Structure 1
Amino acid sequence: MIKTIKENVYSVGVEDWNRRIFDELIQIPEGTSYNSYLVKGKDKIALIDTVDPAKTEELLENLRTLEVNIDYVIANHAEQDHSGSLPKILEHYPDAVVVTNTKCKELLTEFLLISEDKFMTVKDGDVLDLGEKTLKFIITPWVHWPDTMVSYLKQDKILFSCDFFGSHVATSHTFANDRDIYKPAKRYYAEIMMPFRTIIKNNLKKIGTEEIDIIAPSHGPIYKNSKFIMDAYADWTADDSKNEVIIPYISMHGSTERMVNYLVDVLIKKGVNVKPLNLTYTDMGEVALELVDATTMIIASPTVLTGPHPSVVYATYLANALRPKLKYVSVIGSYGWGGRMLEQIEGMIKNLKVETIEPLIIKGFPKEEDYKKLDEIAEQIFQKHSELGII
């Protein structure tokens, strides 16, 4: 569907209503979109990014409807959900030139075998004059690949932000509703952007020097309220965490669940916000989402063949890979005859710059002395959150 953003600026991308997993890794319960944009200048026409190769024909149909010739294809990022239709676009518009940065050019020649003579390479701050429409290119590496850049349309104050500020949502709405988009955008940040939090903070400052009215990302609806999403990113990337404890857990025979439930109740009574996440029912995107603001994570697991439950292994690996701004971590759980569950979990969180709260691994069901130790863990968490000034 073609959507008008401003005069001679169109969204020509495609909604993918049925997709439920991305990169064979990330669950996307609301589908997604592959946003491509067309800018018609007085002299030249530019297509900004393409779409996933599964949706190439729909993109081509949108372009045929507009009855345009394409002079430039701006490649903000080489990943195939953005660039996958590029070979077909160049086949249909043989005179078009691919405009991108040196790193993205390198990747596109490797991924899509595009001939080097089809490229125009740009540097940070370079501009492309389309005739009464001028695109400025801002290199924003590691948001979330090393090749990423964004394109800024000066006259209309539109930032074509690539994966920056995206959300995996398929929708008939052109523009985002701030309330509805907050959680999908935060989940997108958590799953994709959080490992690059420090770099993203610097890139926020970089694009913040431009006057931006509209942000048009590569996935999800467009932001007319650019301040809303930029402020959200500033909050998510800040070093300060919130008065939140996340407890990803599994319980096979009820022992670990009893420990979790008891600890949750004690923390709530102390004024600590806590979110238990039963990994039997919780997808890893929700775990990532809750990690964005959490100060403390309690990993809770039974022992399975001497180690942690596989679902807990996955959640622990995810937390280690995403590198959230956690300050404290502990482990609780149970075993039947023995094992190395605690040792294995501790070995999986080396990326986390955290203080460890004394763990509690018990044999069988929790007993009175175990509940007392859980009280001690809860008190430690309360005291540490209080020292940070977040309670």
Structure 2
Amino acid sequence: MKTRKIKDHIYWMGSVDWDSRLFDSLIPLPDGTSYNAYLIEGSQKTVLLDTVDPPMAGEFMAQLEGVPRIDYIVSHHAEQDHSGTLLQVLEKYPGARLITTPKARGMLIDLLNIPEEAFISVKDGETLSLGDKTLTFIHTPWVHWPETMVTYLEEDKILFSCDFFGSHIASADLFVTDEGRVFEAAKRYFAEIMMPFRSVIKKNLEKLAACEIEMIAPGHGQLYPRPAFIVDAYRDWTLGAPRNTVVLPHVSMHASTQRMVDHLIGALVDKGVRVEPFNLAVTDIGKLAMALVDAATIVVGTPTVLAGPHPYAAYAAFLANALRPNTKFLSVIGSYGWGGKTVEALAGMIPNLKVDVIDPVLCKGVPSEEAFNALDALAAAIARKHKENGFT
């Protein structure tokens, strides 16, 4: 991709990664991603905002060939997908100064061995004049690392948000044109990366409310010419109440647990509760994370393996504990052969979840009529609790 004009003297740079399907050896990328950097030419000074992931450095440095001078480089976030090409840019522009938060300064020295004399540390709310353009630096800690910040371009009312409001999506369109597609990608991104920091993101949204924003330019994905689209979505994901939804991650070895899962799904639907089941043997973990954003209840379906939960179920519990969704209730269903401590093991794996545990339903071997009746009672209890709490 070549450099692309956003507005007069403001340009997108970076790389669209069409082919990657895994980020950080962890996060699925069904739609690829992009690594966005931005160049702003003021009447007196020129600034580069962020760089790209090291494997994309060749394309990025080629884009810089026509840029005679850079006075400042802003690093919003020390993670290498945004900072990984900083040393090459500093080598090309030895007079440039690197602007970061104080915490990012130390992290970039540790991660990339950038010399200390290259840095300018900025305070929250500090401004920088480029002549006819003014940048305001706003600290946004824990979005999603402790050192992060965003930059607001006052005259053009553009927020350069790095990972905040990002989406892993590869597209030839510079701006969002299909909000439905981007909404799903942005929600997946929020669920996998931002949801653990839901409480501090609320505070950062409040800080940004003071800015008159007409465009958001994130570090991944397309630019938002209608900022309310993504800002309102973030407000809902961080401030909204859970929905009348049960997320049901499950795995079955000899069909007994599967029969229990199928029965519970029907019982919940009959009670007016929405269900999102995920067969952990084949599921897209990103889809599971997205469902957790809104779920009022999690029910884990698992057989007992060597006296504990199936490893896939244990991973689902670990994931939920790490992502910290705003879930209110939890239960466990499943079949066992000779005994064990499945419920105790799973409960011990979710200390971060502030949930009420609803009585589990476990049965020995093939589920009996008694087990199915217990599943009906579980569905009724979940429906009642959702109604009592006003979850819709």
Q: Is TM > 0.5 for Structure 1 vs Structure 2?
A: yes
Deviations 1:20-52 (A, max 9, x none): 111111111111111000001011110000000
Deviations 1:243-292 (A, max 9, x none): 11100000111011110111101111111111111111112111111000
Whole-angstrom distance in 2 between the partners of 1:326 and 1:52: 34
2:328 matched to 1:331? Answer: no
Deviation of 1:84 after TM superposition, in Å, equals 0.3
Whole-angstrom distance in 2 between the partners of 1:32 and 1:68: 29
Say if 2:46 and 2:69, in contact at 8 Å, map to a contact too.
yes
Partner secondary structure for residue 288 of structure 1: helix
Q: Which residue of 1 aligns with 2:384?
A: 383
TM-score w.r.t. the length of structure 2 is 0.98
Deviation of 1:63 after TM superposition, in Å, equals 1.4
2:298 matched to 1:313? Answer: no
Kindly provide the amino acid, as one letter, of the partner of residue 206 in structure 1: K
Q: Which residue of 2 aligns with 1:179?
A: 180
Which structure 2 residues correspond to residues 334-349 of structure 1 after superposition, within 5 A?
334-349=335-350
Q: Which residue of 2 aligns with 1:196?
A: 197
2:131 matched to 1:152? Answer: no
Kindly provide the amino acid, as one letter, of the partner of residue 371 in structure 2: D
Partner secondary structure for residue 338 of structure 2: coil
Say if 1:239 and 1:325, in contact at 8 Å, map to a contact too.
no
Structure 1: stretches of 5+ with no match in the other structure: none
Whole-angstrom distance in 2 between the partners of 1:4 and 1:68: 17
Give me the identity figure in percent: 53
Partner secondary structure for residue 275 of structure 2: strand
Whole-angstrom distance in 2 between the partners of 1:223 and 1:257: 43
Which structure 2 residues correspond to residues 200-239 of structure 1 after superposition, within 5 A?
200-239=201-240
Deviations 1:38-77 (A, max 9, x none): 001011110000000111111111111x433111100001
Which structure 2 residues correspond to residues 68-79 of structure 1 after superposition, within 5 A?
68-79=68-79
Partner secondary structure for residue 227 of structure 1: helix
Whole-angstrom distance in 1 between the partners of 2:67 and 2:83: 22
Whole-angstrom distance in 2 between the partners of 1:51 and 1:9: 18
Say if 1:296 and 1:329, in contact at 8 Å, map to a contact too.
yes
Partner secondary structure for residue 391 of structure 2: coil
Partner secondary structure for residue 303 of structure 2: strand
Q: Aligned residue pairs: how many?
A: 390
Whole-angstrom distance in 2 between the partners of 1:266 and 1:161: 44
Q: Which residue of 2 aligns with 1:301?
A: 302
Q: Which residue of 2 aligns with 1:374?
A: 375
Whole-angstrom distance in 2 between the partners of 1:117 and 1:363: 67
Deviation of 1:239 after TM superposition, in Å, equals 4.8
Partner secondary structure for residue 295 of structure 2: coil
Which structure 2 residues correspond to residues 252-271 of structure 1 after superposition, within 5 A?
252-271=253-272
Deviations 1:147-193 (A, max 9, x none): 00000000110000010000111111101132210011001000000
Q: Which residue of 1 aligns with 2:101?
A: 101
Say if 1:36 and 1:48, in contact at 8 Å, map to a contact too.
yes
Deviation of 1:390 after TM superposition, in Å, equals 2.3
Whole-angstrom distance in 2 between the partners of 1:281 and 1:225: 36
Whole-angstrom distance in 1 between the partners of 2:193 and 2:348: 23
Deviations 1:64-121 (A, max 9, x none): 1x43311110000100000000000011111111011100011011111111111111
Whole-angstrom distance in 1 between the partners of 2:223 and 2:156: 14
CA RMSD after TM alignment: 0.9
Say if 1:126 and 1:136, in contact at 8 Å, map to a contact too.
yes
Deviations 1:177-229 (A, max 9, x none): 32210011001000000010000000001011100010011011111110010
Whole-angstrom distance in 1 between the partners of 2:391 and 2:110: 48
2:90 matched to 1:90? Answer: yes
Kindly provide the amino acid, as one letter, of the partner of residue 315 in structure 1: A
Whole-angstrom distance in 2 between the partners of 1:67 and 1:171: 25
Q: Which residue of 2 aligns with 1:170?
A: 170
Whole-angstrom distance in 2 between the partners of 1:251 and 1:69: 61
Kindly provide the amino acid, as one letter, of the partner of residue 147 in structure 1: E
Deviations 1:352-371 (A, max 9, x none): 10111000111111110110
TM-score w.r.t. the length of structure 1 is 0.98
Q: Which residue of 2 aligns with 1:274?
A: 275
Q: Which residue of 2 aligns with 1:138?
A: 138
Partner secondary structure for residue 98 of structure 1: strand
Say if 2:251 and 2:303, in contact at 8 Å, map to a contact too.
yes
Whole-angstrom distance in 2 between the partners of 1:385 and 1:162: 37
Whole-angstrom distance in 1 between the partners of 2:349 and 2:145: 24
2:257 matched to 1:244? Answer: no
Say if 1:302 and 1:309, in contact at 8 Å, map to a contact too.
yes
Kindly provide the amino acid, as one letter, of the partner of residue 207 in structure 1: L
Whole-angstrom distance in 1 between the partners of 2:69 and 2:170: 28
2:53 matched to 1:52? Answer: yes
Deviation of 1:374 after TM superposition, in Å, equals 0.3
Say if 1:160 and 1:217, in contact at 8 Å, map to a contact too.
yes
Q: Which residue of 1 aligns with 2:285?
A: 284
Structure 2: stretches of 5+ with no match in the other structure: none
Whole-angstrom distance in 1 between the partners of 2:8 and 2:359: 61
